[in-house]
Structure 1
Amino acid sequence: MARRKVTVPESPKCPVCKGTGEVSRTVRVGRKRHAVGAQTGLCLNCLGSGDAPAD
């Protein structure tokens, strides 16, 4: 008896982080709030999973 290969449907990617689970934010410092760099953080849309949230 031959086994069948089961294909699992791929879940859609999160549109905000594009499937990575992380997003970049600009870091601002000082009284005039000038930008000094970027910092990565957890995507709040998918909570870091990379999958599109359910409706």
Structure 2
Amino acid sequence: MARTEKPAPAPPSTACPTCKGSGEVARTVRVGRKHRVVGQQSGLCLTCLGSGEAPVE
């Protein structure tokens, strides 16, 4: 009797918890001497460095 192999389980989700896998986070834009907030722009996620995958510990 031939032995059948079971398929390997899918790897766990490795999405970065900070950016949710997008690689970008919202950054507040401040201008002027009093650092007035004028809006937000997208910035590189420093946790995963823009890859969208959680870093291996």
Q: TM-score, normalized by length of structure 2? A: 0.74
How many residues are matched?
52
Query: Whose radius of gyration is greater, 1 or 2?
Result: 2
Q: Cα RMSD (Å) of the superposition? A: 1.9
Q: TM-score, normalized by length of structure 1? A: 0.76
Give the share of equivalent positions with the same residue, in percent: 63
Runs of 4+ in 1 over 3 A off after TM superposition: 5-8
Instruction: Identify unmatched segments of 5+ residues in structure 2.
Output: 1-6
Instruction: Identify unmatched segments of 5+ residues in structure 1.
Output: none
